[in-house]
A and B are shown apart, each in its own frame.
Chain A
């Protein structure tokens, strides 16, 4: 493989500018790498070679004419396969959209294309982004590049695995309850979920509208900061997108954090946390102390309710968002239905996988007459309390830290028959979505089997700059991020 593929986007950008390699060459190198690894990893649902090379060619033309390149121009990137790219299949890893070709671009796609970022393919995911291990895909299983018998985490498992294995340098994922941060943690890379509304959701196939947020994957904090800068900003097509100026997040990286307060979430330490993860946490605390920060233990008493709240709200919204997959206008339709009802029921029974069906049923139940107040309404009230508790905590500390997950990547198949155990994987990540906060997972060490551990950092809403600052300082004080999966 071309060794440049192992470098960060920042380094690759430099190489492009210095004409050490052309963008077309770099993109082709990525495709060669993908070709040689895909049998083992299974990160992609489809490749978009034509689009990628077209974009790369434009980059080379700009370089040739001596023009300044836009941020991240020419850097190979993977889109999670729940984001629309004109002419590409956008399947959400579901049989029901197996042959759906996007007639329009997601806003993030437009932004990437405007910045001449070559999109090399569409990454595998848990069907409709529902899952924590990527095992719910209707297509391939995704394997963790650090150990092919392990899951990559989900739901953005393909995005994480492709960046972790250097098939691509950057990727976009979507995070509804941890779907970026968890696979980033399992695959030893950086994954970040922005403040709700920071990135447009237009063109992202909705799972749970009030929780979904698109965010970057990268192998360094700096790259993630730059990618967020490219994709964020107000979008008139998304009423929930925030009308705020785009910040240059990389400018925050080197801010002095001495004297700042780092809160350690009490409920996410000790019991339930594997010893290796606990050790990594101890190291993280020590790192911040060395960086001159004050460490404070913070108790979030409502955190234990977050999984319950999440699985009511997220399923309620998904039961509604997925109603459009009815076989009428696009996507899979059952052959030879006898009547309308049969067309609906068979199309959906044959088109959706078991986890998606489970969540549609849960959500339908939570919204049903007579149950709405007890479930949906109560969960909304609790969500407000969770948010309030975070607001209180951030009066005392600048950021909060915890493990991204109590454990490292588990074996394929280990939890796939126990949905509840699977849901608990998200204990540390879910509350961040409920409160709409920005959160990041950065490489923080390895367990005794050599599997990566992630440190999660949370900041108040709109404080992405602060989040990247703390993440970068931690990253640079350690060397975990320089270690890549040996594949």
Chain B
């Protein structure tokens, strides 16, 4: 690690290129299904295989998702965009070119705000994904005996989102990336899973002396497979570049590969070795005209985005922290929305969601949608607590024991097990009196100043009532009896 003092001499400039795999039913230019985890080469029509004579036909749903994402990223959607061929040879690229968008992308000039800072989005363009190579007999290409080609992924639609070089720290880059992931997930266009590769990120990073206006030479970092890897790779790269400059050297423009096991980047190819992709307009596809009506039709379907959701949650009384954490976990947030739509108190709801429910999900490695808990049942439970029908503790207890695991309805469980709260003051007073009389020594001690024995008495009452007594009422009477 380069010392902080040395680091402080430099400013870091980061821009990200993010590939989001769009969740359409079929591929971008072929009717094959767009699915993950199928038998190798089972999703390969002659079009996907690049057979002689086949032609691409653009999937309209891909355009819809492109427009939706562009709008979510505050982009302009030009009235015309077109497709181009990016040409290079590799066995996972069936046609010897990738159909992409070069100089007229579907989205331009957008931005998103990260903790109050605006990060520009230069453009977002549609393109097709390549297939996958499986290297046999080794972990990687090196040392492998032969390589197998799986073209199921070839032709999967991608939206490449290119940011401006507006980020100034690895943490900021991570925050941008996380926000982007949340946006595409809430927009419903991408799973946003870095580990599985449904979202991929290349980082351009350079350093310059603080106060300088001229960016340094950048390196492009590839093979970043998680948010923490993004941060680690950028931290490593900052140190590497600073060390070079401090030793009087020059950073060279190149593509570097991050290895998360060895925690370092290695040069993959220099600028001189870079491919000449020989882009030219794809003659098999007409330029795409996007009418304003089309854009507005898509805009009308825009779901609530993460930033709006966080704002709304805070306006409901959630803390900034709770709002943020909840939004980061989309299935929980969507569940929460339904629960409060059913009239449940948002603060009680979020406490359950972030507390017992999250703990259960974490322990059992499941998503909330995979449990038997329904928003209706949780809303009912919360309303019962609010009305004083049951205590908060009883609520927590049956939530985990009966509702999540067995799908029980709160009202039925309370009825069956007789768990409704005792709020009748006369009844509680009687029980408190009984407990006080049965424990004279503790009463004595309390009166002599050991006031923390209050909890003992409350506990005894709750034990006696199997937790059903209204805690506030119990407290009130215990104090009354003890303090006379």
- Most chain B CB inside 10 Å of its own CB: which residue of A97, A316, A369: A369
Question: Would you give the shortest CB distance from A344 to chain B, in whole angstroms?
Answer: 6
B149 & A205 in contact (Cβ 8 Å cutoff): no
Any chain A CB within 8 A of the CB of B87?
Answer: yes
Chain A residues bordering chain B, tally (CB within 8 A)? 44
Chain A interface, >50% SS class: loop
Considering only residues 51-103 of chain B, those with a C-beta below 8 Å from chain A are 51-58, 85, 87, 89, 91, 94-97
Any chain A CB within 8 A of the CB of B343?
Answer: no
- What are the residues of chain A within 8 A of B94 when measuring CB–CB? 324, 328-329
Question: Would you give the shortest CB distance from B92 to chain A, in whole angstroms?
Answer: 9
Question: Would you give the shortest CB distance from A453 to chain B, in whole angstroms?
Answer: 33
B57 & A84 in contact (Cβ 8 Å cutoff): no
CA distance A329 to B54 in the complex (A): 14
- What are the residues of chain B within 8 A of A97 when measuring CB–CB? 52
Q: Which of B55, B96, B286 interacts with A323 by CB under 8 Å? A: B96
B53 & A328 in contact (Cβ 8 Å cutoff): no
Any chain A CB within 8 A of the CB of B283?
Answer: yes
Considering only residues 23-63 of chain B, those with a C-beta below 8 Å from chain A are 46, 49-58
- What are the residues of chain A within 8 A of B54 when measuring CB–CB? 104, 202-203
B51 & A320 in contact (Cβ 8 Å cutoff): no
A369 & B284 in contact (Cβ 8 Å cutoff): no
A368 & B55 in contact (Cβ 8 Å cutoff): no
CA distance A376 to B276 in the complex (A): 15
CA distance A367 to B53 in the complex (A): 22
A372 & B280 in contact (Cβ 8 Å cutoff): yes
CA distance A203 to B53 in the complex (A): 4
Any chain B CB within 8 A of the CB of A446?
Answer: no
Chain B interface, >50% SS class: loop
Query: Given A210-B283, A239-B56, A239-B284: A104 and B96 within 8 A (CB)?
Result: no
A201 & B55 in contact (Cβ 8 Å cutoff): yes
CA distance A236 to B87 in the complex (A): 26
B52 & A376 in contact (Cβ 8 Å cutoff): no
Any chain A CB within 8 A of the CB of B285?
Answer: yes
- What are the residues of chain B within 8 A of A330 when measuring CB–CB? 49, 51
CA distance A106 to B85 in the complex (A): 23
B284 & A324 in contact (Cβ 8 Å cutoff): no
Query: Given A239-B58, A320-B96, A323-B87: A84 and B52 within 8 A (CB)?
Result: yes
Query: Given A103-B46, A364-B278, A367-B280: A344 and B89 within 8 A (CB)?
Result: yes
Question: Would you give the shortest CB distance from B443 to chain A, in whole angstroms?
Answer: 88
CA distance A205 to B87 in the complex (A): 19
- What are the residues of chain A within 8 A of B280 when measuring CB–CB? 316, 320, 367, 372, 376
- Most chain B CB inside 10 Å of its own CB: which residue of A104, A203, A238, A323: A323
Contact with A along B249-291 (1 / 0, CB 8 A): 0000000000000000000000000001011100111100000
Any chain B CB within 8 A of the CB of A326?
Answer: yes
Question: Would you give the shortest CB distance from B285 to chain A, in whole angstroms?
Answer: 5
Which 10 residue pairs are nearest across A and B when measured between Cβ atoms?
A323-B96, A209-B283, A367-B278, A210-B283, A205-B52, A203-B53, A324-B50, A369-B276, A205-B53, A324-B95
Q: Which residues of A does B touch, CB under 8 Å?
A: 82-84, 90, 92, 97, 100, 103-104, 106, 201-206, 208-210, 236-240, 316-317, 319-320, 322-326, 328-330, 340, 344, 364, 367-369, 372, 376
Q: Which residues of B does A touch, CB under 8 Å?
A: 46, 49-58, 85, 87, 89, 91, 94-97, 149, 276, 278-280, 283-286
Given contact pairs A106-B53, A320-B85, enumerate 15 new A-B contacts (beta carbons under 8 Å): A82-B53, A97-B52, A201-B55, A202-B53, A206-B52, A209-B283, A237-B57, A238-B55, A239-B58, A239-B284, A330-B49, A340-B91, A367-B87, A368-B278, A369-B276
Task: Please list 19 pairs of residues, one from A and one from B, whose beta carbons are closer than 8 Å in the complex, sorted by A's number.
Answer: A104-B54, A201-B55, A202-B53, A203-B54, A204-B53, A206-B53, A209-B284, A237-B57, A238-B57, A240-B55, A240-B285, A320-B96, A323-B95, A326-B96, A328-B94, A328-B149, A329-B94, A367-B87, A372-B280
